[in-house]
Structure 1
Amino acid sequence: MKDGFAWEEGIAKGAAMAAWRLPHCAEAFLVQDFSGGTRLQEGWNLDELSSGFLAAPFIGLPYFLRADSLSSFTLQARELPTPYVAPPENQSKKTEFMGWVAEAIQAIKKGPLQKVVLSRTDEQELPASFDVMTALEELGAAYPTAFVCALSIPALGGVWMCATPEILVEQNAEGIFRTISLAGTQSGVDADGFAIAPSQARWSTKEIEEQAFVSRYIIDCFKMIRLREYIEIGPKTISTGNLLHLKTEYIVDTKAMDFPQLPGLMLGLLHPTSAVCGTPKQEAVDFISATESHDRSMYSGYLGPVNLGKATHLFVNLRTVEIKENHAVFYAGCGITEDSNPAKEWQETQMKCQTLQRVLMQ
Structure 2
Amino acid sequence: MTKALVMKTPEMTGEGSGAVAPDAALSSFVLVGADETVVANGCRPIPAVAGASLARRVSEALEDAVAVVGALPYERLQPAHLLRPTEWSRLPQRSTARAFGPPALLRSCPVPHWQVTAEPSLAAYRASVAEALRQMERRPELRKVVLSRALRVSGDRPIDPRALLCRLAEDPAATAFCVPLPSADGTGRLLLGATPELLVSRRGDQVISHPLAGSARRSSDPGRDRDAAERLAASTKDGREHREVVTAILDLLAPYCRELGTPEGTQLVSTASMWHLGTRIVGRLRDPASSSLELAALLHPTPAVCGTPRDAAAELIAEIEGHDRGFYAGAVGWCDTAGDGDWYVALRCAEISGGEARLHAGAGIVPGSDPVAEGDETAAKFAAMLRALGIDEAIAFEGAAA
Give the shorter-chain TM-score range. 0.7 to 0.9
> Structure 1 pair 300/235, CA: closer, same or farther in 2 (3 Å)?
same
What does residue range 255-294 of structure 1 map to in structure 2 within 5 Å? Answer: 257-261=286-290, 263=292, 266-294=295-323
Any idea what SS the aligned residue of 2:265 has? strand
- Deviations 1:305-327 (CA, angstroms, capped at 9, x unpaired): 21178630011111111112111
Partner of 1:83: none
Tell me, yes or no, if structure 1 residue 52 matches structure 2 residue 82.
no
**Which whole-Å CA distance do the structure 1 matches of 2:245 and 2:154 have between them?**
35
1:271 positional shift: 1.2
Moved more, 47-56 or 287-296: 47-56
**Which whole-Å CA distance do the structure 1 matches of 2:49 and 2:296 have between them?**
15
Partner of 1:231: 261
Q: Tell me, which stretches of 5 or more residues in structure 2 are unaligned?
A: 1-16, 104-113, 392-402
Partner of 1:215: 246
**Which whole-Å CA distance do the structure 2 matches of 1:177 and 1:248 have between them?**
14
> Structure 1 pair 270/90, CA: closer, same or farther in 2 (3 Å)?
closer
Partner of 1:183: 213
Any idea what SS the aligned residue of 1:207 has? helix
- Deviations 1:207-236 (CA, angstroms, capped at 9, x unpaired): 11000100111122134x264521313211
Asked if 2 retains the 8 angstrom alpha-carbon contact of 1:20 and 1:30, the reply is no
Any idea what SS the aligned residue of 1:314 has? strand
What does residue range 200-211 of structure 1 map to in structure 2 within 5 Å? Answer: 200=230, 202-203=232-233, 204-211=235-242
**Which whole-Å CA distance do the structure 2 matches of 1:221 and 1:36 have between them?**
29
Partner of 1:39: 48
**Which whole-Å CA distance do the structure 2 matches of 1:302 and 1:90 have between them?**
24
Tell me, yes or no, if structure 1 residue 162 matches structure 2 residue 172.
no
Identify the match of residue 307 of structure 1 among 336, 353, 372: 336
- Deviations 1:134-169 (CA, angstroms, capped at 9, x unpaired): 11111111x212111112123466211111111111
Q: Tell me, which stretches of 5 or more residues in structure 1 are unaligned?
A: 79-85
- Deviations 1:10-41 (CA, angstroms, capped at 9, x unpaired): x4xxxx5312212244x4513322x4443365
**Which whole-Å CA distance do the structure 1 matches of 2:178 and 2:293 have between them?**
24
Tell me, yes or no, if structure 1 residue 75 matches structure 2 residue 96.
yes
Amino acid at match of 1:214: V
Identify the match of residue 280 of structure 2 among 246, 249, 271: 249
Asked if 1 retains the 8 angstrom alpha-carbon contact of 2:117 and 2:152, the reply is no
Asked if 2 retains the 8 angstrom alpha-carbon contact of 1:149 and 1:163, the reply is yes
**Which whole-Å CA distance do the structure 2 matches of 1:327 and 1:272 have between them?**
27
Asked if 1 retains the 8 angstrom alpha-carbon contact of 2:292 and 2:335, the reply is no
1:287 positional shift: 0.6
Identify the match of residue 126 of structure 2 among 70, 77, 98: 98
**Which whole-Å CA distance do the structure 2 matches of 1:248 and 1:271 have between them?**
17
Amino acid at match of 1:32: G
Asked if 2 retains the 8 angstrom alpha-carbon contact of 1:32 and 1:65, the reply is no
- Deviations 1:265-303 (CA, angstroms, capped at 9, x unpaired): 533331111111001111111111111121101011111
Tell me, yes or no, if structure 1 residue 171 matches structure 2 residue 202.
yes
**Which whole-Å CA distance do the structure 2 matches of 1:168 and 1:53 have between them?**
15
Root-mean-square deviation (CA, aligned residues, Å) is 3.1
**Which whole-Å CA distance do the structure 2 matches of 1:199 and 1:329 have between them?**
29
Higher relative contact order (CA 8 A, sep 6+): 1
Any idea what SS the aligned residue of 1:125 has? strand
What does residue range 136-147 of structure 1 map to in structure 2 within 5 Å? Answer: 136-141=165-170, 143-147=171-175
1:113 positional shift: 1.3
**Which whole-Å CA distance do the structure 2 matches of 1:5 and 1:38 have between them?**
27
Asked if 2 retains the 8 angstrom alpha-carbon contact of 1:31 and 1:53, the reply is no
Asked if 2 retains the 8 angstrom alpha-carbon contact of 1:150 and 1:162, the reply is yes
Amino acid at match of 2:176: V
Aligned residues with identical type, % of pairs: 25
Tell me, yes or no, if structure 1 residue 21 matches structure 2 residue 32.
yes
Asked if 2 retains the 8 angstrom alpha-carbon contact of 1:139 and 1:148, the reply is yes
**Which whole-Å CA distance do the structure 2 matches of 1:57 and 1:95 have between them?**
27
Partner of 1:82: none
